[in-house]
Amino acid sequence: MRWLLMWLLMTAQPVHAEFNPQSVVMNCLICHDSEKNSSSGEVPDLAGLTSAELHQALLDFKYDRRFATLMPRIAKGYSDAEIQAVADWLSQ
Among 38, 39, 31, 17, CA closest to 71: 31
Helices 21-31, 80-90: axis angle to 10 degrees equals 70
pLDDT at 8: 62
Q: What angle do CA 38, 31, 76 make, to 5 degrees?
A: 135
Domain boundaries, the chain: 50-91
Cα 87 from Cα 29, distance rounded (Å): 13
Q: What's the whole-model pTM score?
A: 0.75
**Tens of pLDDT, residues 62-80:** 999 999 999 999 999 999 9
Segment 26-48, tens digit of pLDDT: 999 888 886 766 556 778 889 89
Burial of 1 (0-12, 13-18, 19+ CB in 10 A): exposed
